[in-house]
Structure 1
Amino acid sequence: MDTSQKEFEMKCFIDDIGRIGGFGGLTYEESHFNILWKFEIQRMADFLSIHLTCFKENHVDHWEVKTETSLQVISKNGTSQTIKEICRYENVDIPEVYNRFGWYDFMTWAMLTDDFAIHGDVTIQANVRILEMVGFKKENLMNFDELAKEFSDIVLVVEDRKFYTSKLFLAFQSSYFKSLLLGDFAESKQSEVVLKDINPDDFQNFLELIHAESPIDGILHLAVLYDSPIAIKRCEEFLVKKSEKTLKVKLELSTRYNLKVLKVLTAFTSSAMDTSQKEFEIKCFIDDIDRLEEGIEHTVEENHFNIPWKLEIQQIGGYLSIYLDCLKQDSVDDWEVKTEITVQVLSKDGASQTIKNYHRYANMFNLDPDVCFSFGWYEFMTWDMLENNFAVNGDVTIQANVRILEMVGFRKENLKNFDELAKEFSDIVLVVRDRKFYTSKLFLGFQSSYFKSLLLGDFAESRQSEVVLKNINPDDFQNFLELIHGESPIDGILHLAVLYDSPTAIKRCEEFLVEKSKKTLKVKLDLSTRYNLKVLKVLAVIKSSAMDTPQKEFEIKRLIEDIDCMEEGDDRSVEEDHFNIPWKLVIIRQDGFLSINLFCLKENQLNLFEVKTETTIQVLSKNGTSQTMKEICRFGNEDCLPVGRSWGWSEFMTWDTLENDFAIHGDVTIQAKSRILEMVGFKKENLKNFDESMKEFSDIVLVVRDRKFYTLKLFLGFQSSYFKSLLLGDFAESKQSEVVLKDINPDDFQNFLELIHGESPIDGILHLAVLYDSPTAIKRCEEFLVEKSKKTLKVKLDLSTRYNLKVLKEKCMSEITSIDDIRSVMSDEMDLSISNELLKKCLSLC
């Protein structure tokens, strides 16, 4: 039961690392949780020095802040180095603790400039999670100390403090305490109960809140965790009426803890109703960069938000030139588009270079020097760099991502008027910027639960004749009103339809997106997920075959319990099989350094093979300190460059650093986590054939990349609601003899077909079984995981939660019989229901 999270981040983007010369440095100061922090970045003796300093004034009273701090250097190409440690900030005259934490030699300056800085750009940041704060006191509004002893029948012990209170009162306020103190747990018979990992100040606040006192800071998390409706309600009331937290924080809290009143009221009173985002992307995939000779222009033209745009790519003077033009025809009326533009060059190997800027497009006749119809860079990067560092076999992707911040002078003819002409038919005026909309409270209330609460409920607005809606685009609001009155355009107003909870508007938006919209598949899927548009989601997946293959991830971990006994050249390797490939994590003491490498031990064959991975190597200390390196790497045949059989660092860290900063009594954990991005040249013997030999028994051919699968529509339709809709429904595919499924791995699809035909392998295809909604395949996957799989308990429990496999979940929970078992399955992203069950197990085992 964590206390409410206290976390913050300090980030420094350095666009010219060379300006930190000599002993000069950069410092940033920010206040977090009423404490001043300073982030210091320096070059010292050819090392990058990074420190975080706590500037709380010293007092007579003792104070301490215990944190988990991660310092990171992040490159634009995705490379990063992270060091994490538990540290204590305290009065400076207290021994063994300091007001400053960090490293004078975080990395060598040469490594920073060579491996991380891209054109001198690099990001350095500190992520801080506050674990404990001591000496930061407020005056208690209510006492639960020994003075309350005669009125109590239970003592709750939180760290070194005892809280005297009443079981019945706690149980009435909280279902958690009802189960714990009045149920069948051992605690119900104890006079003192210990609550672990709770901040006593937060618990004091929690008790004050449910006893009708006022402060809520830091305890909403406890209120939800303990399932206390009264505490949750009072927290929400405070956030609605009195809290000075930012709009962003309030909206995040309302979403995280399902605070409906806060969400609606914050949207109105704090003007949190953003207009629907206007964003688009223009992408150009160039499959032969050598074709672009000096001066030859490669262009892509697309329409977005009724404006034509052109992405221009050229080689000019030995540089790559990238420009984005707005091709709107000039008119008598002034017009302007204010944008945030991100231009990227993307390589297949994961490398990228990104530049982001703000630009204003306007009429050619506009005399403002800051506006123009074209924007970009003549010298985005040198052509040599493009060819050598980004183009893979001549292939490279260049794209522009545009977020429109403001549009002025773009008018469409209104389909319905809500101006003064509609005044006699209205009983409310809604003011959006400089425009007034005359409409009916009852109609709005019928269409939208938001307006029902606002205009027909207990809010002050229900008694006003004019109500101001802030931060809403009036054109979008015009569209919204037209839509709920039965007119057609939806561009830019789906966000409002969901925000105002208007089923009619949402349904019409979805129908338009399904039947008429020319938005890209990616945009449709994003919208379907963001706004829970189920019909759109299914149809987009079917129509455009946006079915990703399941993630292939694995982890190899080694706990070394006697690091101080490792001599020069000692090898502590670990070998494991993952996805039918043998892997070896090699850990060696070498020349005063810790050397860590991951080897792919697949035997060389005549056929080429390659495994492309995103691999993270970590050294983890029991005290919470860690150092992490992450990179995209390619494993393959030994004689095929640029791939290799191993990847890692011969000098991951000095041996002294390992012993002094990471090893606790000689113990340290070293692990490699790999996410497989692509596998080429790996074949297994098929258990069942779906090739041309099955042609006479089939009535449909499914084409997956370069392979054809011959099978039966009726069988697929019986096994999978997805294929029932696709092949037996009203879609065009139901009349085709061949149907193409894009972006599917053919080996995974072979496995899927084998599984639903009664064969056994499931590796990599549970995702497809769920995506295709195939009960038979899901059941067989679950049976395999329950009865035969050798996956770890943690992996099985994660799968049971992700795919709602109830039998597997029950089996996993039944195998958790000790505190060590609980530790082995814990993770930061664990589902709340699982966390609660594990908590109950933990309490029963203690």
Structure 2
Amino acid sequence: MTVPLEDNQVTEATMKADLLGVYQKMRSELIEEMKKNQEEMLQKLESKIEDIDKDNKKSLEKLTSKLSKSNESPEKSDSSVKRFKLKHIFYNVNAFRKNVFYFSEWENHFNVKWRLMTARFGDHLGFYIFCEPIAPTDKWSIRTKNEYKVVGRNQEFVIRSSENCHRGNRGWGFPRFQEWGDMEEWFLVNGNLKVEVEITIIETVGLEKKRIRKFDESQKDVSDVILVVGNTKFYVSRTFLASQSDVFKTLLLGGFSESKQSEVTLNGIDPDDFHYFLEVLYGEFAIDDTTVEGVACLADMYDVPTAMRKCEEFLLNESKRTLKMKLELATRYHLKNLEEQCIREIRAIENVRFDVPKYDNHQTEWKVYHLNFNFDYSLGQRQYRKFNDRSS
């Protein structure tokens, strides 16, 4: 049977139309699938970008926090203030003779020697602090805020505060800090008295050591920014400081207004400490027992790992500071190698017998307390022997 030509043509056209419909459907489905995959990829990409933004925001907040603290006044900024505590246990206080001074050992803090003194003045406990420069100097002064504390057996305490300007060998404190009877009844523990003073250094004069490098106007030709600290101007390089510290990088090259200023003021910093800090950054051997604490404070404040590492290396290998002082610095600035060395030496001391826990920031206060106790115990025994020698 012969099929008419017209019907054959219609059938071929229909097949083409069907194929075109199938093709268009497949194309539409493929496009939808591609769109779906693209949307998923975009969502994943946006999620990653959000995570990166969060991390950057946290880093920026951290840097901003450091910068804001660096530009606070000395009274407001904890990280920039020179603050420390003197702690001591005076032994056999019941046996104190009237008007006789009983001293703790000297401790070095910020280029100055410090010690505590207690005495019985009539029916009252006298409580003082003394200080003097480590390096001899004719004209010097130190202005401080002091918080004196006597700690009782049940952690009761008596606190008094003062602000003083130290000159010469005169001590500052309270001749009538507390009634002697109240002190004996509530604050003596087995005849021993625990005292503390938190000292905040506001200003020092005449304590600076010899400078190795100049940052004055003579360096104007090789500097592009002036850092103003107190009444002192430091001519330095933005890019060099930025390469040493993320904080300086953000402050001097980032989006802060200071990045466009020719002079940038840094508040709450001692100019002498900042000079030695810059000397260390510029490669000078400026760290010794009189400068290490100030340099470490600024290295921590401005997040400068190179300077902090040099401080730790000095404390590990060259410093003559006491073991107690080294451990306090190690825990304050998280110097793990120094802390481990201190703990090894502590274990070697015959009269220190306690198990030191694994390195943990939460254990810092515990370790320092026990070290204070054992060192103070040793000092107290010597103090008591001296007292007995005088009595006999």
Q: Normalization by structure 2: what TM-score?
A: 0.66
The alignment status of 1:447 with 2:251, answered yes or no, reads no
- Within the candidate set 336, 347, 352, 1:742 is matched to 352
2:313 aligns to what? 511
2:61 aligns to what? 262
Structure 1 residues 358, 507: closer, same or farther in 2, change over 3 A?
same
Q: Give the superposition deviation at 1:228.
A: 5.4
Structure 1 residues 228, 317: closer, same or farther in 2, change over 3 A?
same
Q: Which ranges of structure 2 fall in alignment gaps of 5 or more residues? A: 1-39, 361-392
Using the alignment, how far apart are the partners of 2:136 and 2:276 within structure 1?
A: 25
Using the alignment, how far apart are the partners of 1:503 and 1:289 within structure 2?
A: 46
Q: Give the superposition deviation at 1:172.
A: 7.1
Q: Secondary structure at the match of 2:234?
A: strand
1:355 aligns to what? 159
CA contact (8 A) 2:151 2:194 kept: yes
2:330 aligns to what? 528
CA contact (8 A) 1:301 1:308 kept: no
CA contact (8 A) 1:327 1:373 kept: no
- Within the candidate set 71, 74, 83, 1:279 is matched to 83
CA contact (8 A) 1:276 1:492 kept: no
CA contact (8 A) 1:363 1:373 kept: yes
The alignment status of 1:341 with 2:136, answered yes or no, reads no
Equivalent residues in 2 for 1:92-241 (5 A)? 229=51, 232=54, 236=57
Structure 1 residues 526, 283: closer, same or farther in 2, change over 3 A?
closer
CA contact (8 A) 1:266 1:272 kept: no
**Percent of aligned positions that are identical:** 33
The C-alpha deviation readout for 1:430-485, integer Å capped at 9, x for no partner, is 22232111122333233223333443455554444333323332222111101112
The C-alpha deviation readout for 1:554-573, integer Å capped at 9, x for no partner, is xxxxxxxxxxxxxxxxxxxx
**Which protein has greater RCO, CA pairs closer than 8 Å, 6+ apart?**
2
Using the alignment, how far apart are the partners of 1:468 and 1:448 within structure 2?
A: 17
1:492 aligns to what? 294
- Within the candidate set 203, 206, 221, 1:424 is matched to 221
Q: Give the superposition deviation at 1:541.
A: 1.7
Equivalent residues in 2 for 1:702-713 (5 A)? none
Structure 1 residues 358, 330: closer, same or farther in 2, change over 3 A?
farther
CA contact (8 A) 1:361 1:374 kept: no
1:323 aligns to what? 128
Structure 1 residues 408, 422: closer, same or farther in 2, change over 3 A?
same
The C-alpha deviation readout for 1:598-638, integer Å capped at 9, x for no partner, is xxxxxxxxxxxxxxxxxxxxxxxxxxxxxxxxxxxxxxxxx
Using the alignment, how far apart are the partners of 1:345 and 1:269 within structure 2?
A: 35
2:364 aligns to what? none
1:639 aligns to what? none
Structure 1 residues 353, 519: closer, same or farther in 2, change over 3 A?
farther
Q: How many residues align?
A: 310
Matching residue's letter, 1:286: F
Structure 1 residues 471, 170: closer, same or farther in 2, change over 3 A?
farther
The alignment status of 1:544 with 2:382, answered yes or no, reads no
Using the alignment, how far apart are the partners of 2:59 and 2:223 within structure 1?
A: 29
Q: Secondary structure at the match of 2:226?
A: strand
Cα RMSD for the two superposed structures: 3.8
Structure 1 residues 336, 170: closer, same or farther in 2, change over 3 A?
farther
Structure 1 residues 410, 320: closer, same or farther in 2, change over 3 A?
same
1:405 aligns to what? 202
The alignment status of 1:435 with 2:232, answered yes or no, reads yes
CA contact (8 A) 1:326 1:374 kept: yes
Structure 1 residues 387, 330: closer, same or farther in 2, change over 3 A?
same
The alignment status of 1:383 with 2:188, answered yes or no, reads no
Q: Which ranges of structure 1 fall in alignment gaps of 5 or more residues? A: 1-166, 176-226, 237-258, 365-371, 546-732, 734-738, 746-766, 773-846
CA contact (8 A) 2:150 2:159 kept: no
Q: Quick check: which has more Rg, 1 or 2? A: 2
Structure 1 residues 532, 295: closer, same or farther in 2, change over 3 A?
closer
Matching residue's letter, 1:423: K
Q: Give the superposition deviation at 1:421.
A: 1.8
Q: Going by fraction, where is strand more abundant, 1 or 2?
A: 1
Using the alignment, how far apart are the partners of 1:460 and 1:280 within structure 2?
A: 34
Structure 1 residues 308, 428: closer, same or farther in 2, change over 3 A?
same
Q: Give the superposition deviation at 1:507.
A: 1.1
Using the alignment, how far apart are the partners of 1:292 and 1:524 within structure 2?
A: 32
Structure 1 residues 423, 446: closer, same or farther in 2, change over 3 A?
same
Q: Give the superposition deviation at 1:264.
A: 1.7
2:262 aligns to what? 465
Q: Secondary structure at the match of 1:391?
A: coil
2:112 aligns to what? 307
Structure 1 residues 343, 743: closer, same or farther in 2, change over 3 A?
farther
Matching residue's letter, 2:225: I
Structure 1 residues 171, 529: closer, same or farther in 2, change over 3 A?
farther
